[in-house]
Amino acid sequence: MGWGLRLVAAFVMLVAFSFDSWPIALLAFLYLVFSLRRPRRQQVYVMRQGDVFTEPGRPWKRYAAGGFFLFLSLVSLESGGTYSPVVFFLCGIALFFWPRIRRSGFANRVVPVKNSVLLRSLLVPFLWHALIEVKLESQDQTRGIASMSGKVILFAGKAPSVCQVVSVYALDYAQAERRIMRRLKQESRMLSQRGAHLLPMDSVEAAGKLSMELERLELGTDDLEAVSSLPFDVLTLRVQDGLVVSHRAFNVSESQSGGPAIPAPDVTHVKQPLFAEMVQEIGEKHGWPSPDEFSPFLAALDASRNEPFADRVQMKGETGARLRVETPSGTQVGLTRPQLRALARIYG
């Protein structure tokens, strides 16, 4: 049972408490307790359709949860509730039509947080994201990319780039920023030893990069090896323990985008391929981004972590919304203030 349903149940419990609806609050509490239990090991049954391996879904769980919330809507309506019937009804309808909502991309819409590197989910206000660009010291040092985990987005084309999406649940901006920066600080130490460095994107720039109308790449097969060998504009992957858990390839459509959205890797793999092998194959066929001025700048920050940040970065002026900063070795780059604050926390 995912965290989305758990958060909804917690919200329902709080709303029910506020309206003195103890039976509904008790049911939501029991659902939370049950969902947080350690799941038993289950056997996975797999069926093959042509070249596509698919794991049969279990929509009855989603339908049961949706029906439960619709039932709560009727109960709260009979109890004289004002807002709770509407909230329960919308939760039930959302659960019934969740696959269609997810395919439409609306569930993945984000909005930039002003003067920050964070993006906030449009649908779930307590879900926060950060888009992190990976800078390589050389095109041959792809070990850093192969060592990444979580959601990875590959942008192909004339200027290829590799980005990572870091997501956290938090009640407010400050808590979300602390959690994301803590994770990035730990990961940056590991990746820097493999020739890769992390550069958080400004929220406005990140929203612009994600403001694309994407069309799913339909190949007649969802095998990742076949997808990686053919042209694509965007490839999103979910990596766990060095294995590709899911993926989805896209082409950029010329139609107008409905807003920034994080592409979801919704094709799951039963036989999960090695991410390091995929990195090598994709690099041979599509290439990786070339090092730019940010690569030596971030490498210098990483090499001098124990020194005061003010001694490692010198201000050289301002160009528009960007500050021109320089390392003692003479490497100069342009960064926004939110980016510079984030780098102080990550490489501090």
Higher pLDDT, 72 or 121: 121
How many other C-beta atoms are found inside a 10 Å radius of the C-beta of residue 230? 11
Q: Give 248-303 pLDDT, tens digit per residue.
A: 888 888 766 668 889 888 777 777 888 888 888 887 777 788 888 899 999 999 98
Q: C-alpha distances in angstroms, 147 versus 153, 184, 294, 319?
A: 14, 14, 20, 35
**Per-residue confidence (pLDDT) for residue 39, from 0 to 100:** 45
pLDDT digits (tens, 9 = 90+) for 93-136: 777 666 666 555 566 889 999 999 999 998 888 889 999 999 98
Q: What is the pLDDT of residues 243-263, one digit of tens each?
A: 888 888 888 887 666 688 898
Residue-wise pLDDT for 18-67, tens only, equals: 666 656 666 766 665 556 544 443 333 333 333 333 334 456 677 777 77
The reported pLDDT for the residue numbered 22 is 56
Q: To 5 degrees, how large is the angle CA 301–CA 306–CA 308?
A: 75
Q: Tell me, what's the pLDDT at 160?
A: 84
The predicted pLDDT at position 35 comes to 60
β-strands 243-252, 234-240 pairing? antiparallel
Rounded to whole angstroms, how far apart are CA atoms 242 and 246? Answer: 12
Tokens of 229: 């060998």
Q: Residue 256: its pLDDT value, please?
A: 66
The one-letter amino acid at 279: V
State the DSSP H helix or E strand holding residue 127, giving kind and residue range, or none if neither: strand 127-136
Residue 17 has pLDDT above 70, yes or no: no
pLDDT of amino acid 87: 77
Residue-level pLDDT at 222: 53
CA angle 48, 50, 56 (to 5 degrees): 30
Domain boundaries, the chain: 3-96, 110-286, 294-346
CA distances from 70 to 73, 90, 276 (A): 5, 8, 46
Backbone phi, then psi, for 215, in 5-degree steps?
-115, 130
Digit-coded pLDDT (tens) for 188-235:
999 988 889 999 999 999 999 998 888 887 655 556 666 666 678 888
Provide the pLDDT for residue 102: 58
Mean pLDDT of 83-92: 76
Query: Looking at residue 286, what is its pLDDT?
Result: 76
Residue for token pair 């019934």:
96
Report pLDDT for 187.
92
Mean pLDDT of 58-85: 72
| Of 144 and 23, the one with more pLDDT | 144
- Identify the pLDDT of residue 90: 76
pLDDT at 229: 67
